[in-house]
Amino acid sequence: MNCGRSGALKDTKIETRSNHDIFYENARQRFCGQDLRKIADDFALEQDKDTAFIFFAGSRHALSLLDGTVTVQAEDGIHWDKTDYTAGLTIYDILSDVKRGRHLSGTWVTIQSLPHTVQYGKQGGISMFEPYGKLFDGKREQLKKICEQMGGTPEPYADLSYRLPLFDFLPVIFEFWDSDEEFPAKVQLLWDENTQDYIKFETIYYAAFCLLEKMKALLEAM
C-alpha cells in the first residue's frame, strides 16, 4: 500500500513535537507500508470507499485506508476525534500480524498464565489494576450499566463479571470484587488462552489499559 503524499505530514515545526507524537507518526508510517485494504479484508472489517471500521475498548474507530490515520467516534455518535496515543498504537499492532488458522480456545486464563510468557508476578498482574479497584469500589451497579453499555454479557464469576468485546473478534472477561473487612476491591481481566494468536503479549497491557480507562471515563460521566 503506497501511502504517498497524502500520508506524509508536512510540518515545518516537527522539532516542537513530543516524543509521543514522533513515535506515533513513525508507527503510522510503518503501518502504511502494508496493504491496508488487504488487512481490512483479512480482519473482515466493515468498510466504505476509503475507510475501515474497528471496534476497540468500547469505542468505534475509523482507519483511513489511504494514509493509516486512526480516529475515534465521539460520544455524540456524529463527530470523529483524533484517537488516543495508546489506542492507536494498539490498533496498529493488532492489525499488523494475521496468524492463519487462529481461533479462540474458549479457555480463560489470567495474563500471568498465558502460555509461552515470562511470569511477571504481581508487578505485571493484579497490582496494575489496583487503582481501578479503588475507583470502582462500591459502584457495582454503575459498573453493571457500563459493561452493558459496552456490549458485555454477564458471566458467573466474582461479585460482578462480564464478557466484553475488547475488539470485534477478541473478547475479554472483566471481573470485579468489592472490598470487605479483609480484602481491598479487586479488578482482574481474563484472556482467552489463544489471545497471543491475535495480539502480542506486550500489547495486551496497552489494550487492558485502554479498556479500563474507557470504563473509568464512562463512570466519571455518570
CATH of the domain at 122: 3.30.310
Residues 44, 88 within the same domain: yes
Query: Residue 100: inside a domain, yes or no?
Result: no
Contact predicate 139/222, CB 8 Å: no
Q: At which residue does the C-alpha cell 469500589 appear?
A: 137
Q: Which residue range is the domain that position 214 belongs to?
A: 108-220
pLDDT at 20: 81
- Alpha helix segments (H runs only) across 35-104: 36-42, 85-95
Q: At which residue does the C-alpha cell 472477561 appear?
A: 173
pLDDT at 123: 47
Count other Cβ atoms within 10 Å, centred on residue 28.
20
Query: Residue 129: inside a domain, yes or no?
Result: yes
Query: Residue 9: inside a domain, yes or no?
Result: yes
Residues 66, 153 within the same domain: no
Number of domain units in the chain: 2
Residues 118, 204 within the same domain: yes
Last residue of some domain: 41, 69, 95? 95
**Strand 59-64 versus strand 70-73 pairing type:** antiparallel
Last residue of some domain: 95, 128, 148? 95
Query: Residue 24: inside a domain, yes or no?
Result: yes
Annotate 171-214 with DSSP letters as a single string: EEEEEEE---SSS--EEEEEEETTGGGTS-HHHHHHHHHHHHHH
Query: Residue 101: inside a domain, yes or no?
Result: no
pLDDT at 118: 57
- As given in the structure block, the three cell numbers for residue 46 are 466493515
pLDDT at 8: 44
pLDDT at 98: 72
Contact predicate 70/60, CB 8 Å: no
Query: Residue 102: inside a domain, yes or no?
Result: no
Residues 190, 215 within the same domain: yes
Helix (H) or strand (E) holding 145: helix 140-149
Residues 210, 133 within the same domain: yes
Q: Which residue ranges of the chain lie beneath pLDDT 50? A: 2, 4-15, 121-124
pLDDT at 11: 46
Residues 199, 140 within the same domain: yes
Query: Residue 89: inside a domain, yes or no?
Result: yes
pLDDT at 107: 94
Last residue of some domain: 95, 128, 160? 95
